[in-house]
Amino acid sequence: MYRCYTGTHIREAEQPRLAAGEGPTLMRTAAWGLAQHTLDFLRHRGRIYGSRVIGLVGKGNNGGDTLWALSFLASRGVHIEAVPITADPDQLHPAARTAFRTAGGRFTTRIDHAADVVLDGVFGTGFSGSFDMPTYLADRNLHIPATAGIIACDIPSGVHADTGDIPGASLQADVTVTFGGPKVGLLVGAGAHHAGRIHVIDIGIGPELASIEAPWWVAEHTDVARYYGGPRWDAHKYSRGVLSVVAGSPEYPGAAVLVTQAATATGVGYLSLVAEPPRGKIVADHVIAATPQVVVEDNITPKATALVIGPGLGTTVRGQHSATAALETGAQHDLPVLVDASGLDVLAAQHFEAHYAALVLTPHVGEMRRLTQRLAPDLTDQDVAAQAETFAQRFGVWVVLKSATTYIFGPTGQRSLHPPYTAELATAGTGDTLAGILGAGLSTVDPDDPAISDRVFGLMVAGVRLHSMAGQLAAADGGVVVSSLADYIRQAKQFGLE
């Protein structure tokens, strides 16, 4: 996992250096990095000497970074120009403006049709409010050539660094060169779709960033190998986890099939389906046909080391009773319990007062809003991610909020975000698959482990990454068909080991 920061985090980390008079050094370091990645972009396009780079510059530090970068590019034979945006040239950063002009740069009110690269350096991480960059340019007859690459300085102008929101409109960058550390606004929401490839420049504030107590965490594929890799040499079926699944109904048997297929592909050692006859026979028949190694039982097996409750149970009295009974069993045996889909509807105050090794809720956005409305109505005015974060801490649970960007929030302030790598997973049944992956991971948790909180957090973060890797592999192979996603889970696990 790597750490990710809000724009506020970055600005706070810069303050001691700025107070010490190191602002010019920070700016030139950032600009040098921006210039180097611009040169790499030009080199990939075919040439550096004689190419044309134009900066769109504002009067803040982002404009200063861009003007310094342009001055560095000029030393490599690049023709440089700059278009002031919402400012006159004499309002721009003084030292950077001087360096730009000394390097032979000139200010202009047009974008050369032969420009190879346009640098977006108008607004940075301190931006708030709304700005429509494409309309601003069009209204002034400033047209970016279709063949020109767009490189954002720190963050595409108009993107909110803390949230990824774009209240107005932003340019679609091919590359974003960001400073200090990865930023939330480049990885979530609309900001993630406007950032392009992201390169991080170390500007020397690492110690200050390391001292931040509540960063965001982002999974890497190596986390999949760490938490979902192959078994130990001395493993046996019980040491690899015993998962009991309370899922499926005659109306929705497929949910149980998808959960058990995913858990099996993830590597659980023993998998039990609670399907009490006669009603459960339909579900059991479907599951056994798809995954014959599943053991069908009337009740949760005493060997269980984790439970998954809810997918496809439906809203019948019998389904709700099954979910409630399973929650009680999980508390009695101090098990890790994952509650999804229909199971979320039966959660009540007494369940949060009971003790579980870990209680993990996996709502999608609509389910999270319903949970909040029912159990924490004072939070309904917050955005849904903020609701989930506060809900997790208030009720002492883990929340995996499923959306285009998936968020994970822990009971003591842990938080992770997962960028939207593929929209192919936006289809019915992929949530059931995720429940199977995470349930398999939870079945390996030792309730007596003093580091259980770290273990659960790592399993949730890596499990979401494994799910998305499977989706990416399936998308590259013609598209996600949820019934075959388990095959790609196996491939993704192998990829994580490489």
Summarize the annotated binding site for (6S)-NADPHX as residue ranges.
255, 312, 364, 432
In this structure, the strands spanning 216-218 and 242-246 are unpaired
The one-letter code for the residue type at 230 is G
Q: Token digits for 325?
A: 């009974």
Q: HEC states along 260-301?
A: HHHHHHHCCCEEEEECCCCCCHHHHHHHHHHCCCCEEECCCC
3-class SS of residue 202: coil
Binding residues for AMP: 402-406, 431
Q: What are the CA-CA distances from residue 10 to residues 15, 211, 493 (Å)?
A: 9, 12, 34
Residue pair 441/452 in contact by the 8 Å Cβ criterion = no
C-alpha–C-alpha distance, residues 389 and 408, integer Å: 8
Query: Which residues face 150 on adjacent strands?
Result: 118
Going by C-alpha positions, the residue among 139, 183, 178 that lies closest to residue 165 is 183
3-class SS of residue 54: strand
Supply the Cα-derived Rg of the chain in whole angstroms.
26
In this structure, the strands spanning 406-409 and 398-401 are antiparallel
Instruction: Give the side-chain half-sphere CA count within 13 A for 303.
Output: 14
Helices marked H in 48-188 — which ranges? 61-74, 94-102, 133-139
Residue pair 285/315 in contact by the 8 Å Cβ criterion = no
Residue pair 409/389 in contact by the 8 Å Cβ criterion = yes
Q: What are the CA-CA distances from residue 437 to residues 245, 432, 440, 462 (Å)?
A: 12, 9, 5, 10
Q: HEC states along 357-420?
A: CEEEECCEHHHHHHHHHHHCHHHCCCCHHHHHHHHHHHHCCEEEEECCCEEEECCCCCEEEECC
Query: Which residues face 407 on adjacent strands?
Result: 401, 417
Q: What are the CA-CA distances from residue 101 to residues 36, 67, 98, 169, 351 (Å)?
A: 20, 9, 5, 30, 67
In this structure, the strands spanning 358-361 and 216-218 are unpaired
Going by C-alpha positions, the residue among 191, 404, 447 that lies closest to residue 304 is 447
Left, alpha or beta for 470 (phi > 0: left; psi -120 to 50: alpha)? alpha
Binding residues: 255, 312, 364, 402-406, 431-432
